[in-house]
């Protein structure tokens, strides 16, 4: 076994997957999105992803991005390029460690997961390891880091110590960016003063997930990360130079190509519910690369613990209720139902 393969979870090692290839079937129903959707592949077309300048926000452009895309690129965000570069390099070094070393090293308040992006409230992944059947494994491993608990991380490992310090620096910027964007969105949506005052966004809920998508030489559609929406209010993503992220728009999958120095913002389910469906929660997926591992760092922020979400389309609910329902559906149905569970039937 090569050093590279020893860093992967056992299910991801190429020598074992060759025996399973014939059994793997294309993903279809797990995301509840219906039939396969066309993929945009014309590289000659100018990148269509909306761009928002945080220092000089064009409110009409932001409104259009939130209502028709649910996703946009952010420039002039104020995060030093050195931090973005360092966090990617540290993450790559961490994931290259042997699998057993990572399991032992990444303890509380951190958690290490693989095989699925769906996490329980404690951060442990559902459906990991033995018992994951064909079509259930997503080709991803990750580290979950609650930003508010990082000071509790006691470690003598220099790599983990450096990553903790970098995540804390990055986290301060992420909270600033999220609250700035939400303030402008609240004004656009004419939310009540209670929402604009910070009830609907709580920096204390923010956490970072650092993902690695191991490369694989075969094109298998149910590997990577299946089509889904985030449960968050906002998600802020830092990509490396390996592509794979795609967002759906107009019945077509659009690549969100890596652009140095920019961040990707996508709206989650809580933002769609708070906007009473005026904004959309971005449906996105990640395809694996045949030759290179992909590293991405996602920041997720949520409404405050006591915030009650309601509108003409939704019955009143708290995020904790939504989270509990998602976990229940994943365990019993095998996939996330999401906002449909809270819709008011007209």
> pLDDT (tens digit, 9 = 90+) per residue, 90-115?
999 999 999 999 999 998 999 998 88
Instruction: Say what the pLDDT of residue 12 is.
Output: 77
C-alpha 243 chain-centroid distance: 15
Which tokens is 22 given?
């014939």
Phi and psi torsions of 225, nearest 5°: -145, 125
Residue 29, pLDDT > 60, answer no
* Contact by Cβ (8 Å): 268, 229: yes
Least confident piece of the model among 56-70, 222-236, 254-268, 307-321: 222-236
Distance CA 112, CA 236 (A): 20
Give the highest mean pLDDT range of 7-16, 100-109, 133-142.
100-109
Q: Say yes or no to pLDDT of 5 above 90.
A: no
Q: How many residues does the chain have?
A: 346
Average pLDDT over residues 299-327: 93
71 phi and psi, to 5 degrees?
-160, 145
pLDDT at residue number 2: 63
Rounded percentage of the chain residues whose pLDDT exceeds 70: 80
How many Cβ atoms from other residues are within 10 Å of residue 246's Cβ?
A: 22
Return the pLDDT at 14.
Answer: 58
- List phi, psi (to 5°) of 122: -80, -10
Q: What is the pLDDT of residue 109?
A: 94
Averaged pLDDT of the chain: 83
Edge-first strand order for the sheet with 294-302 is 51-53, 71-75, 263-267, 234-239, 294-302, 202-213, 141-146, 111-114
CB 326 within 8 A of CB 338: yes
Can 315 be counted among the known catalytic residues? no
20 vs 197, higher pLDDT: 197
Query: What per-residue confidence (pLDDT) applies to 334?
Result: 79
Q: DSSP code of 12?
A: G
How many C-beta neighbours within 10 Å does residue 173 have? Answer: 18
For residues 209 and 235, the answer to whether their CB atoms sit within 8 Å is no
Residue 58, pLDDT above cutoff 50: yes
pLDDT at residue 209 tops 90: yes
Neighbouring C-beta atoms of residue 330, cutoff 10 Å? 19
Residues facing 248 on adjacent strands:
253
Separation in Å, CA 172 to CA 50, 186, 227: 25, 21, 30
| CATH superfamily assigned to domain 3-342 | B-lactam Antibiotic, Isopenicillin N Synthase; Chain (2.60.120.330)
Question: Active site residue: 249, 285, 294, 315, which one?
Answer: 294
Tell me what pLDDT residue 135 has. Answer: 46
The pLDDT value recorded for residue 322 is 95
Identify any residues that bridge with 279 across adjacent strands, giving them in sequence order.
none
In this structure, of 140-144, 220-224, 239-243, the range with the lowest mean pLDDT score is: 220-224
Q: Kindly tell me if the per-residue pLDDT of 123 is higher than 80.
A: no
The neighbouring-strand residues paired with 86 are none
* Rounded Cα gap, residues 252 and 188, in angstroms: 28
Per-residue pLDDT band at 144 (split at 50, 70, 90): very high
Q: What is the pLDDT of residue 114?
A: 87
pLDDT, residue 116, reads: 66
Residue 88 has pLDDT above 60, yes or no: yes
Q: Worst-scoring range by mean pLDDT, 27-36, 60-69, 174-183?
A: 27-36
Side-chain-side CA neighbours of residue 272 (13 Å): 24
Please tell me the pTM assigned to this model: 0.86
41 pLDDT above the threshold of 60: no
CA–CA distance from 292 to each of 12, 122, 272 (Å)? 14, 31, 34
Instruction: Report the phi/psi class of residue 297: left, alpha or beta, with left for phi > 0 and alpha for psi in -120 to 50.
Output: beta
- Confidence label for 86 from pLDDT (cuts 50, 70 and 90): very high
What band does 224 get if pLDDT is binned at 50, 70 and 90?
confident
State the alpha helices, DSSP H only, in the chain.
3-6, 14-17, 59-68, 81-95, 99-105, 158-189, 193-194, 269-274, 319-333
Contact 204, 137 (CB under 8 A): no
């Amino acid at each position: 076994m090569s050093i590279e393969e020893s860093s992967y979870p056992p299910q991801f090692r190429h020598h074992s997957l060759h025996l399973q290839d014939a059994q793997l079937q294309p993903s279809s129903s797990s995301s509840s999105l219906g039939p396969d959707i066309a993929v945009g592949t014309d590289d000659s077309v100018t990148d269509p992803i909306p761009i928002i300048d945080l220092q000089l926000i064009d409110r009409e452009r932001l409104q259009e991005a939130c209502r028709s895309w649910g996703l946009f690129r952010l420039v002039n965000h104020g995060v030093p390029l050195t931090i973005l570069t360092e966090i990617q390099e540290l993450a790559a070094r961490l994931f290259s460690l042997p699998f057993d070393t990572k399991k032992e090293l990444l303890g509380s308040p951190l958690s290490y997961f693989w095989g699925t992006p769906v996490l329980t409230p404690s951060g442990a992944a559902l459906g990991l390891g033995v018992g994951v059947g064909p079509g259930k494994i997503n080709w991803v491993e990750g580290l979950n880091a609650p930003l508010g608990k990082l000071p509790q991380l006691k470690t003598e490992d220099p790599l983990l110590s450096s990553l903790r310090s970098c995540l804390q620096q990055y986290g301060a910027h992420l909270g600033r960016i999220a609250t700035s964007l939400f303030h402008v969105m609240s004004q656009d949506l004419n939310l009540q003063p209670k929402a604009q005052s910070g009830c609907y966004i709580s920096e204390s809920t923010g956490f970072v997930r650092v993902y690695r998508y191991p490369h694989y030489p075969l094109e298998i559609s149910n590997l990577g990360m299946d089509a889904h929406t985030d449960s968050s209010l906002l998600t802020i993503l830092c990509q490396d130079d390996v592509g794979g992220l795609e967002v759906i728009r107009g019945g077509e999958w659009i690549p969100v190509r890596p652009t140095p120095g920019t961040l990707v913002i996508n709206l989650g389910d809580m933002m769609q519910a708070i906007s009473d469906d005026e904004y959309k929660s971005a449906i996105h997926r990640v395809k694996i690369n045949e030759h290179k591992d992909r590293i991405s760092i996602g920041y997720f922020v949520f409404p405050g613990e006591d915030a009650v979400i309601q509108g003409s389309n939704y019955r009143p609910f708290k995020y904790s209720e939504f989270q509990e329902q998602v976990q229940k559906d994943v365990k019993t149905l095998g996939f996330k139902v999401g906002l449909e569970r809270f819709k008011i039937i007209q």
